[in-house]
Amino acid sequence: MSLNDLSKLTASMGFAERNDPFGLFGDWLKDAEKSEPNDPNAMALATADEEGLPNVRMVLLKGFDDRGFVFYTNYESQKGQEILGTMKAALCFHWKSLRRQVRVRGLVEEVTKQEADIYFASRPRDSRIGAWASQQSRPLESRFALETAVALNTAKYAIGEVPRPSYWSGFRIKPLSIEFWHDRPFRLHDRVVFRRKDPSGEWSKARLYP
Ligand SMILES: Cc1cc2nc3c(=O)[nH]c(=O)nc-3n(C[C@H](O)[C@H](O)[C@H](O)COP(=O)(O)O)c2cc1C
């Protein structure tokens, strides 16, 4: 390792000095919105089934503030059922263009009906029809069966607004920990984790070995 590399390595990245995890996340998300080719708000969502077997899939972050991280889905889907069984989840963002990762673990709450209605109404009409047509995660006999369900619901809601299905709503992950990771040379990455005992508690901060 040259002196130059060493000084690069020890130079402060700035973020490790921050004490506001939500503010820091917001800044990193804004950076990602500028640099990621698509879906900077994509995040892996981890849940566990009744046996404790983990499950992970991508979802899109649709709301974020000091209360937590919101995404929308079908509550009758596998992820919906797993979350409703535990009210716990974890998230992982990876922004390849920035070589950054954020990990979140926390407790889950349902968003209010009003919040879900507002978001649902903002979606394109065809996506709203799709929410009625898709029995997410359940076996689908054929593509034709899905297209038939779309056609039937398009006809059903031909006039007026498409209402939000009661089974389609949002979850908010209220973090108990948020970890920020930034790539550094020689795999000596920076890791800073914020933790708290409950979602209204005070944050404590620690650096972690990479
Ligand atoms: C980039 C990306 C974003 C996605 N966003 C969502 C989302 O916001 N909500 C959702 O229900 N599914 C989303 N999906 C589909 C899920 O990954 C998954 O296939 C689906 O929700 C069924 O998951 P489950 O059977 O574990 O419930 C997304 C997939 C990708 C690749």
User: Given pLDDT bands bounded at 50, 70 and 90, which one contains residue 2?
Assistant: low
Q: Whose CA is nearest to atom 18 of ligand 1?
A: 57
Question: Is residue 59 in contact with ligand 1, taking CB distance under 6 Å?
Answer: yes
User: Is the CB–ligand 1 distance for residue 47 below 6 Å?
Assistant: no
187 is catalytic: yes
Q: CB count, 10 Å around CB of 25?
A: 21
Query: What's the pTM?
Result: 0.93
Write the pLDDT tens digit of every residue in 124-168.
999 999 999 999 999 999 999 999 999 999 999 999 999 999 999
Ligand 1 centroid – CA 66 distance (Å) = 24
CA angle (31, 29, 68) in 5-degree steps: 160
CA 115 – ligand 1 centroid, Å: 20
Cite the DSSP H helix spans in the chain.
Answer: 3-10, 21-35, 78-86, 113-122, 125-133, 143-156
Q: Is 57 in the pocket of ligand 1 (CB under 6 A)?
A: yes
CA angle 73, 139, 88 (to 5 degrees): 35
Choice among 57, 123, 187, 207 that is catalytic: 187
107-117 pLDDT tens trace? 999 999 999 99
Q: Tell me which residue has its CA closest to atom 14 in ligand 1.
A: 59
The pLDDT-based confidence of 12 (bands split at 50, 70, 90) is very low
Say what percent of the chain tops pLDDT 70: 94
Place of tokens 């398009």: 154
Binding site membership of 43 for ligand 1 (Cβ less than 6 Å): no
What does the pLDDT average to over 176-180? 98
